[in-house]
Amino acid sequence: MNIFDELGDKHSVFTEKKYLDHRFLPDKLPHREIQIKSIAKYWIEALNGVTPPDITIYGKTGTGKTAVAKFAMKQLKEAANNNDINIRTEYIRCTDYTTEYQVIARLCQQMGRDVPYRGWTKAEVIHTFRNLFKKNAFGKNLILLVVLDEIDILLKNDGDGLLYTLTRTDNVSILSISNYVDFKKFIKPRVKSSLRDREIVFPPYGAQQLVDILEERSKLSFKDNVLSDDVIPLCAALAAKEEGDARYALDLLRTSGEIADEKSTEIVHGDYVREAKDFIEHNKITDIVMTLPSQQQRVLESILFLTKRREEITSGRLYEVYKDVSKGDTVSYRRIFDFINELEMLGLISTNTVSRGRAKGRTNIIDLQCETSILEDAIWGM
């Protein structure tokens, strides 16, 4: 027997693992009916030849924003085909196209204009883009719906020029997706006034909602009767604690199944979910630590050292230890505060300001937010 046949034949609890992948777009999205309808209510105007209002979607990570937007795009495309109407939908992830130039160039390319990703002036690209909307020979208007996913990244990186250009182009409607409710602080008043957007909020999923989502997905991806009864409720409960993140819930479910396969068992047990949780946590922390600049790794190492000694970690004490750990190749005391901020944003530590009375003023106390053993592996295992 061929080795690949043998491996391929290996017993598995999965039928089709790909249905648990983040990129898979299910055709049922439980508990997002209201949000999908809200989008459809605005976009339906496009079917009548009218440019729909702009829309903004907000919500924490894993609340289904991308999935819902893509679902709505797909539905509109189908409806437009049936109606013989000139509508285009384009999806742009602003982590891939991070400047106004890149986004407009991408849109032109998608719509059949050969625009280079660099070299032209911005005005040339915008001109080419706007020409796409001149009435064509049949007198039909083209309506373009652009989904700008993770728009906060682009706004931070390149300002609000893109929104200005798009809102000032007739026949273009924008659907922006943001993780932050306050992303509009990056938009200047002149752009805000032309972005008369409708806002749709995606609340975090509750545990029961996550159960429904996971059940739907597990039917597609697991063999019958391989999940013990507590698996899905456990994944859902753990993900509900992580701010109702459906992506995390799906990761837990998939990893639990992979653990069952690795152990060559026929049943996915609840215990595997806990193992999956540790495994995912471990990987996440290792990934973060590995991509940190080395000086920052030294700061983290110092925090780990002090945590293990059960010392209270003030920035002063941290700097002392850090100077030792970094062996002369040391950054300034002020720079340490930037590092502390960044580590906190990554969720590795938390800081807490305590008052030490009049004389001593206020002090920042640092707390490690992950297991010391995982962090040790991540730091020493490299």
Instruction: Please state whether 175 falls in left (phi above 0), alpha (psi between -120 and 50) or beta.
Output: beta
Contacts of 364 (CB under 8 A, 6+ apart): 314, 315, 340, 351, 352, 353
Among 56, 63, 66, 173, binds Mg ion (CB under 5 A): 66
Instruction: Estimate to the nearest angstrom the gap between the alpha carbon of 45 and the chain centroid.
Output: 29
d(CA 161, CA 137): 31
179 contacts ligand ATP (rule: CB under 6 A): yes
CB 159 within 8 A of CB 120: no
Comparing CB distances to Mg ion, the nearer of 91 and 120 is 91
Among residues 88, 81, 248, which one has the least CA distance to residue 172?
88
Rounded least distance, CB 198 to Mg ion, Å: 19
d(CA 89, CA 145): 5
The interface with ligand ATP within residues 184-213 (CB under 6 A) comprises: 213
CB 205 within 8 A of CB 63: yes
Comparing CB distances to Mg ion, the nearer of 66 and 102 is 66
Binding segment toward Mg ion, per CB under 5 A, in 59-67, 180-188, 222-230, 296-304: 59-67
CB 130 within 8 A of CB 115: no
113 contacts ligand ATP (rule: CB under 6 A): no
Binding segment toward ligand ATP, per CB under 6 A, in 57-65, 268-276, 309-317, 346-354: 57-65
d(CA 64, CA 209): 12
Rounded least distance, CB 277 to ligand ATP, Å: 17
156 binds, among ligand ATP, Mg ion, none (CB under 5 to 8 A by kind): none
Rounded least distance, CB 248 to ligand ATP, Å: 9
Comparing CB distances to Mg ion, the nearer of 26 and 293 is 26
Comparing CB distances to Mg ion, the nearer of 66 and 256 is 66
173 contacts ligand ATP (rule: CB under 6 A): no
30 binds, among ligand ATP, Mg ion, none (CB under 5 to 8 A by kind): ligand ATP
d(CA 221, CA 210): 16
Buried b (16+ CB within 10 A) or exposed e, 296-314: bbbbbbbbbbbbeeeeebb
The interface with ligand ATP within residues 22-51 (CB under 6 A) comprises: 22, 26, 29-32
| Residues in contact with Mg ion by the rule CB under 5 A | 66
* Binding region for ligand ATP (CB under 6 A): 22, 26, 29-32, 59, 61-67, 179, 213, 246-247, 250
